[in-house]
Structure 1
Amino acid sequence: MNDSIEDALAEVPEPQRDALLRVIGIARGIAPDAVDGVSYGMPALKLHGRPLIGVAATAKHLSVFPFSPAVVEAVADRLAGYSLSKGTIRFTVDTPLPEDVIKTIVRTRLAELG
């Protein structure tokens, strides 16, 4: 696999790549000790070997994976109009995730990881 999240997302077309890198950039600001890696086959930030947040692009949407149903539940009330599932938050370039929600996702996941 690639050395960095940027490398892993190199094949994702613009502006989707920038939208995913925005999420990773915000997460890096909250968790500067996190390192680039792969979790469940997707580019992810990891902390102490455990997945913190992952991102992926599909033909129809972009996804954030906080690797925790509880984290998704913690922000669900702030994501009306977004597609959510047990472990995934889907968005598009035209409907990016709000920065404060991304920060809450990362902080909540950090608390879980201890």
Structure 2
Amino acid sequence: MEKYDTVDSYINSFNGDLKKKLTEIRSVIISNYPDLIESISYGIPAYKLNKKPIIYFAGFKNHIGLYATPTAHEHFSQKLEKYKQGKGSVQIPLSDQIPFELISEMIAFNIQSTKSKSD
């Protein structure tokens, strides 16, 4: 597995529709949540608040993986039930529209959870 130093280099390693969708996810995150710190963690794009994970995403051959913490996945389980899931992960098939509103809701939930824990 290739190692990436930046989210740009990670996204630029993909082509076509997958690259476009990864770029769109990134744009939604950074434009709506400017306080999140962007980095590469576990080899994929990561967004953190106060060093706490909020969301990660990754590109694969047939899907995009979203990793928004097991607590968020449990909270949004009904909205996520149409997707293949693991503990804290969800697979969005490349043939599907990206659920930007749901991603934003999950991010907001994790931000609120993180802030509540630090109070």
Which ranges in structure 2 are unaligned for 5 or more consecutive residues? none
1:83-98, aligned counterparts within 5 Å? 83-98=84-99
Q: Which among 35, 58, 61 is matched to residue 60 of structure 2?
A: 58
- Which letter does structure 1 place at the counterpart of 2:76? V
| Structure showing the higher helix proportion among its residues | 2
SS at match of 1:11: coil
TM-score (norm 1): 0.85
- Determine if contact 1:30/1:106 at 8 Å carries over to the other structure: no
Q: Which among 24, 27, 50 is matched to residue 25 of structure 1?
A: 27
Bigger RCO (CA 8 Å, 6+ sep):
1
SS at match of 2:66: strand
Q: Name the counterpart of 1:36.
A: 38
1:44: Cα distance to partner?
Answer: 1.1
TM-score (norm 2): 0.82
Which ranges in structure 1 are unaligned for 5 or more consecutive residues? none
Identity %: 20
Report how many aligned residue pairs link the two structures: 112
